Structure 1
Amino acid sequence: MTIISIEYPYREYKHLWWRSPPRIFGSLLFIQWTIYTIAAIYQSRNRFRKLWSKTEKITTLDFWIINIVTGGFIIWLAYNTTTYTSYIVGALSFSFTFYITLVIWIIKRRNSTLTFVTPIVKYANKKIDQEKASSIADRLNVLFKKEEIHRDPNLKLLDVASKLDVKPHELSQYLNDNLGLSFSSYINTYRVKTATELIKTNTLLTLEAIGNECGFKSNSTFYTAFKKQEGMTPSQFKKSFK
C-alpha cells in the first residue's frame, strides 16, 4: 500500500482512494486493514479471555497486546463507520486510545516493574533430584561444620562448588530451592553461629576480632548479619551472658 500511494498519490488520484466507486485503492486498503484487524483479534483471543478468567493471571505482555489490538480496532472502527471528516475521528480515536493506555501504564507501574517479558521463576522446571540434594547436604555439613571453610572472608560460591565437585548453578539451585537461602545468607548463618560460640567461650578477643575470625570482612556486615539472625547485636548478646 505504501508503494501504491507513492505511485498514485492521493492528491492526484483522489477518486481511486475515495470510498465511493471506483475506489480501487480505498477498497484494497479497507480489505487489507480489515483482514489484519480480524487476524490480530483472533491471534490474541486467549489473552482477552484472561480478562474474565478467575484462574489465569494476566501478564504484562498480555496487557500490552490487548491494548495494542484494542487500540487498532478502535481506530479501524472510527475510520470505517463515519462518512464525514473521518480523518479527524481517526486522529481523535488514536489520541483517546493512546492516553487511556498511558493512564493504565502509569497505574500499573506503581505496583510492579513494567516489562514486555513475564519474569521467569528461577529453576522452576529444573528441580534437583532428592538423591543429589542429600549428597550435597552431607558434603556441605562436612565443609562448614568440620572444616569451617566459612571462616575464609574471601569464600565464594565457585570455591564451594569446586570442593563439592558440582556446578555453581547446581549449588545455587540447591540453596534456593531446598533451603530457601542465598549463598551469602547460608555462609552468614555459619559465621554467626561460630561467633556466638566464641563470644560465650572467649574473653580475650574483642567483638571486632571475633567478627574477623568468623569470616566477616567488616564490622558493619558482622553486626547486621548477627542482629538479623539472633535478634540482637553482638554486644547485647555478650552482655546477656555476663
Structure 2
Amino acid sequence: MNNDYICDTNALHLEFSKNVLFFFSALGAFNGLFLSLYFGLLIKNRSRATYFLAALLFVISVRVTKSVFLSFYPGTSTVFISVGLAACFLIGPFLYLYTRIAIHPQKVKQWNWLLHIIPVLIFMIIISSLYPYSEYKHLWWRRPPRIFGVILSTQWILYTVAAIYQARGAFKTLFDKNKKITTLDFWILNIVIGGFIIWLAYNTTTYTSYIVGALSFSFTFYITLIIWIIKRRKSTLTFLTPTVKYANKKITEEKASSMADKLEELFKQQQIHRNPNLKLSDVAAQLEVTPHQLSQYLNDNVGLSFSNYINTYRIQTATQLIQTNTLLTLEAIGNECGFKSNSSFYTAFKKNQGMTPSQFKKSLS
C-alpha cells in the first residue's frame, strides 16, 4: 500500500513538473515571437542589427513551438516539424550574424549573410525530402545513429563559438577593472551567453523540448526586463542602432551616387589618403559639399566614419606595397600610406586585416 502510494506520488510529481515545463515552453515561444515582432517591426530607428536580432528570436520561437506541438499533438505535420528543425539549424548562424553586425557593421556586406543561411535551407529541403522525419526520426535522436542530430549540434556550437569570439572584446571589458562596460557590450554579452545556455540545455538535458522551451522563456523574459530597465533610464534603445546619426536628413540617391564617383577618383586615382594631414574638411571642399554632408554620406551610405574610411584605403595601399616593394621597411610603408606614426599604422592594419604588417609580410613567404 505504501509502495503504491509512493509510486502514485512520484508519478503526480513528475507529471506536475512536466506540465510546468510545458507551460513555460509555451510562454517561451510566445515571448520570442513577440520580441521578434518588436525588434523587426515596432522598434524605432531599426537597423540591420535589429533585424538579425529579430530573426534570432524568431527561429528560437519556431523551434520551441515545434517541440510544444510535437509533444502535445503527436500527429503534428512532418512539414511543420521540418520547419522547426530548420529553425534550430538557423539559431547558430543568426546568433553569429547578429553579434558580428552589431559589433562590426561595416564588415558584413549587404548580401553576404545569405552565405550562412541558404546552405542550411538547401540542406533541410534535401534532408526533408530524402529522410522524412516521420520515417527517420531516429536519425535525430540523442543516441546513435543520430547523424543529423550530431550535425545540428556541431553546426550550432561552431557558430556559437564564433559569436563568442566576435564578442571577445566585450568579455575582456567585463573583467577589466580599468574599463567601464558599455550598454552595447552588456547587451551583446547577454545575447551571446543566453544563446550558449540554450545550446547547452539542448545537448545536455533529457527533456530537451521542455528545458529549451523553459530556458527560452527565461532568456526572452530577461531581454524584456533589460529593455524595460533601459527604457526607464533612456528614451530609446539608441545602442541598438548606432548608425542612424542623420536619420532625419537623408542624402538623395543622385547626390550620393555623385559623391561616390568623386570619392573613388580622389582616393583610387589621386590617392589623397597618402596625405597624413588629410582632413574631413579638405575632402569635402574637393567634393564641393559641406563636411556635415560628407560625414553623413559616409555614415549612412558607406557605414564608416571618415577616419575608418581613409584608413581602409591606406591599408589597401599598404598591402600592395608590402607585396610588391622589397626596398621599403614596414615603417616607411606606413609613412608612405599616410600614417603619422608606426603605432597608428599597426593598429589600423591589424583591425583591418586581422594581423600585424609583419605577420602579413611573413604570410606571403
TM-score calculated relative to the size of structure 2:
0.35
| Aligned 1:221-232 pairs, distance under 5 A | 221-232=344-355
**In structure 2, how many angstroms separate the alpha carbons of the residues matched to 1:174 and 1:144?**
16
Whether 1:205 and 2:313 are equivalent positions in the alignment is: no
Give CA-to-partner distance per residue, 1:59-107, whole Å, 9 cap, x none. Answer: xxxxxxxxxxxxxxxxxxxxxxxxxxxxxxxxxxxxxxxxxxxxxxxx9
Supply the distance in 2 between the matched residues of 1:150 and 1:218 (Cα, whole angstroms).
Answer: 15
Change (3 A) 1:113 1:185: farther
| Residue identity in the other structure for 2:320 | E
User: For residue 265 of structure 2, what is the aligned residue in structure 1?
Assistant: 142
Q: CA deviation at 1:193?
A: 0.2
Alignment: residue pair count: 142
Q: In structure 2, what is the Cα distance between the partners aligned to 1:180 and 1:188? A: 14
Unmatched segments (≥5 aa) in structure 1:
1-53, 59-106
Counterpart position of 2:297: 174
How far off is 1:230 after superposition? 1.1
Q: CA deviation at 1:208?
A: 0.7
- Over 3 Å counting, the alpha-carbon distance change for 1:114 and 1:161 in structure 2 is same
Determine which structure has greater relative contact order: mean sequence separation of CA pairs < 8 Å that are 6+ residues apart, divided by chain length: 2
1:165 matches 2:288: yes
- Once the two structures are TM-superposed, the CA of residue 220 in structure 1 deviates from its matched residue by 1.1
Residue in 1 aligned with 2:250?
127
**Which protein is bigger by CA-based radius of gyration?**
1
Cα offset, 1:195, TM superposition: 0.2
Cα shift at 1:232: 1.0
* Structure 1 segments of 4+ aligned residues over 4 angstroms from their partners: 54-58, 110-121
Match of 1:184 in 2: 307
Any unmatched runs of 5+ in structure 2? 1-37, 45-225
Structure 1 counterpart of 2:179: none
Superposed displacement of residue 229, structure 1? 1.1
Q: How many percent identity over aligned positions? A: 69
- What's the CA shift for 1:117? 8.9
Classify the secondary structure of the residue corresponding to 2:340: coil
CA separation of 1:131/1:228 partners in 2, compared to 1, >3 Å: closer, same or farther? same
Structure number with the higher helix fraction is: 2
> What CA distance in whole angstroms lies between the structure 1 residues aligned with 2:43 and 2:317?
45
Please give the residue correspondences for 1:55-70 in structure 2 after superposition, counting only pairs within 5 Å: none
Corresponding residue of 1:219: 342
- SS of residue paired to 2:364: coil
